[in-house]
A and B are shown apart, each in its own frame.
Chain A
Amino acid sequence: QMQLQESGPGLVKPLETLSLTCTVSGGSISSGTYHWGWIRQPPGRGLEWIGSINYRGDTYYNPSLKSRVTTSIDASRNQFSLILRSMTAADTAVYYCGRTNWDSSTGPWDYWGQGSLVTVSS
């Protein structure tokens, strides 16, 4: 059974950069044509797709976040990562990593991590 696990800081200062990593177990990040991505959910609110990457390194980002987002993949470690720059209070959210169930960067998402709460505060 595939499992995904987010790791990273729970607290980020305003204007600093968030770096999160997702470690995949129970399957290879290089197999298949899936995309690996990030979705976030502010407390008490809905879901927002951030961006995705496939094993070839092709990246796709939400246009509203594109200028601040970078995703990368490390197949040797079976990990992929998110960088979100210039964080503000509006970026406070639970950040999920996930896998799409086919060759599309935007979904649908059939495997999810448990989520990592990131708070932006000084």
Chain B
Amino acid sequence: IQMTQSPSTLSASIGDRVTITCRASQSVSVWVAWYQQKPGRAPNLLIYRASDLQSGVPSRFSGSGSGTEFTLTISSLQPDDFATYYCQQYQYNSYSAFGQGTKVEIK
């Protein structure tokens, strides 16, 4: 199963609503997670099971979708949010694949 993210790069301003999309090559139900990664750092889990917010993650982050199409939304972009975002599909004890990443840049 492949995960295709779009866009690959996104330019936005502070306060903008930002949406990143991930499409699966076949249905993955709700088994999708989203991560934020900053340069030189490990990824940080934001969303799991498509829409569950990881503990400690700001509520401006939200996830939605099921089947083959998934979305990560940042409701009001903050300075700390400029980073690269990855989706991941994870099949129970089977297979996992990450999307190629979306870099969110300052406009």
Contacts and interface: CB of A to CB of B under 8 A. Distances in A.
Interface in A91-113: 96, 98, 101, 104-110, 112-113
B42 A108 contact: no
Contact residues of A: prevailing secondary structure:
loop
B57 to A, nearest CB: 11
A69 B4 CA distance: 26
Contacts of A101: 45, 48, 54
Question: Which of the four size classes fits the interface of chain B?
Answer: 20 to 34
Contacts of A46: 86, 98-101
B94 interface: yes
Contacts of A49: 96-98
B42 A106 contact: no
Interface residues of A, number: 21
A108 B88 contact: yes
A112 B98 contact: no
Contacts of B95: 62-63, 106
Interface of B: 33, 35, 41-45, 48, 54, 86, 88, 90-101
27 contacts: A46-B86, A46-B101, A47-B86, A47-B98, A49-B96, A49-B97, A62-B95, A63-B95, A96-B42, A96-B43, A98-B42, A101-B48, A101-B54, A106-B90, A106-B91, A106-B92, A106-B94, A106-B95, A107-B88, A108-B33, A108-B45, A109-B43, A110-B54, A112-B42, A112-B43, A114-B42, A115-B42
